Amino acid sequence: MAVNIPTDVVRSFVAIVDAGSMLRAADRVFVSQSALSLQMKRLEELLQVALFRREGRRLVLSVQGERFLPHARDLLAVNDRALAALGDGSLAGPARIGFVQDFAETLLSGVLSVFASSNPDASLDVRVAGSAELLDLLATDRLDIVLCIGEDTDKAAVATADMHWLGNPRLMSAAILPLAVLQKPCRFRDAAIVALEAAGRPYRIVLETPSLSALRAAVTGGIGITCRTDALMGLDPQIHDGLPALPRVAYVLRINDTRHPVLDRLHDVVLRSIVESASAD
């Protein structure tokens, strides 16, 4: 077995695992798919084990690959910390960050601009998805930083805000309240339905969409009423009377324990942005 393992092929190995395929991993490490395949062949020859196996058309980790993966992540983490300590404090590799739609529309451009200006050689890998999916990606080391929605009791909560009913007040006179919601899973959808049902207020879902932009358009157009926070939705008017109270919601910011040290700065930029956003709510 080889005495030394090149970190470039180890990084490619981890990229394949995290991306789920050779094709997607090739984009992450900026090599061709054929070059990536040759790197894996080289790594397996160095380690004298098969790291992957085929399940139909899928490429999955072998038993040896599963054993090697945590060590590969540790090796890269040590490598990155050493470079950060001796270098100019910038990041040359990928910064993997995940936002829920709400924050992607209101904070993403500013946050990434600030980070990119101080890390011009970094590549940004941004995922926009629901909170549950983002937290799963973080837990499986496929994201470095996640900003999502959670309970106000969450230890990773960095700010809390009130939910409000948003929409055209004239819809309040409807015998059955027209409700516009995002598709499941959605904390705001659940809060609205639970509050209405607990109060015995009849409702029907007139619009259900995976798109926050479509939801905003529907509410602005007077199609239905929804619930959100001011900072996340940015809509007027609010409906203060006649509908049941809604719970508070937390803005949750989590960071991967195996992150590159420079990503702490990105975490701080996101933190400042979300605190400012919550203060304006």
Structural tokens at position 198 = 């607990």
Q: Would you state the pLDDT for residue 179?
A: 95
- Let me know whether 255 and 190 are in one domain: no
Q: How far, in Å, CA of 52 to CA of 63, rounded?
A: 8
Q: How far, in Å, CA of 148 to CA of 135, rounded?
A: 8
Distances (CA, A) of 215 to 52, 130, 133, 182, 220: 43, 15, 20, 7, 9
- Let me know whether 109 and 220 are in one domain: no
Q: How far, in Å, CA of 173 to CA of 148, rounded?
A: 34
CA nearest 235: which of 246, 245, 252, 221?
221
pLDDT tier at 2, thresholds 50, 70, 90: low
38, 65, 86: which is the final residue of a domain?
A: 86
Task: Indicate whether 31 belongs to any domain.
Answer: yes
* Number of domains the chain is built from: 3
Q: Residue 123 above 90 pLDDT?
A: no
CA nearest 101: which of 144, 163, 142, 147?
147
Contact between 268 and 176 under an 8 Å Cβ cutoff? The reply is no
Alpha helix (H) ranges present in the chain? 7-19, 22-29, 33-47, 63-86, 101-106, 108-118, 131-139, 187-198, 212-220, 230-233, 263-279
- Let me know whether 125 and 233 are in one domain: no
pLDDT in tens, 177-207: 999 999 888 889 999 999 999 999 999 999 9
pLDDT tier at 77, thresholds 50, 70, 90: confident
Which of 17-21, 89-93, 237-241 is least confident? 89-93
Q: In degrees to the nearest 10, what's the CA dihedral of 275, 126, 190, 248?
A: -10
Q: How far, in Å, CA of 97 to CA of 126, rounded?
A: 5
Which of 84-88, 213-217, 228-232, 236-240 is least confident? 84-88
What is the pTM for the complete model shown?
0.61
Q: Would you state the pLDDT for residue 136?
A: 87
Q: Residue 278 above 70 pLDDT?
A: no
pLDDT in tens, 136-182: 888 887 888 888 888 877 888 888 888 889 888 888 888 999 999 99
Q: Would you state the pLDDT for residue 84?
A: 61
- Let me know whether 82 and 148 are in one domain: no
CATH number of the domain enclosing 240 = 3.40.190.10
- Let me know whether 185 and 152 are in one domain: no
Distances (CA, A) of 281 to 99, 105, 230: 19, 16, 5
CATH number of the domain enclosing 24 = 1.10.10.10
Contact between 247 and 235 under an 8 Å Cβ cutoff? The reply is no
- Let me know whether 241 and 168 are in one domain: yes
Cis peptide before 237 (omega within 30 of 0): yes
24, 59, 86: which is the final residue of a domain?
A: 86
- Let me know whether 119 and 81 are in one domain: no
* Residue 66 CB partners (closer than 8 Å, separation 6+): none
Q: Residue 237 above 70 pLDDT?
A: no
Task: Indicate whether 2 belongs to any domain.
Answer: no
Q: Would you state the pLDDT for residue 86?
A: 56
- Let me know whether 154 and 264 are in one domain: yes
β-sheet bridge partners, residue 205: 179
53, 86, 119: which is the final residue of a domain?
A: 86
The per-residue pLDDT of the chain, averaged, comes to 81
- Let me know whether 126 and 231 are in one domain: no
- Let me know whether 254 and 125 are in one domain: yes
Q: Residue 1 above 60 pLDDT?
A: no
Task: Indicate whether 1 belongs to any domain.
Answer: no
Half-sphere exposure of 93 (CA within 13 A, CB side): 20
- Let me know whether 175 and 61 are in one domain: no
The domain in which residue 41 lies consists of 7-86
pLDDT in tens, 24-68: 777 666 678 888 889 899 999 999 999 998 887 778 899 999 999
Q: Residue 90 above 70 pLDDT?
A: no
pLDDT tier at 121, thresholds 50, 70, 90: low
Q: Does 244 or 142 have the greater pLDDT score? A: 244
- Let me know whether 156 and 176 are in one domain: no
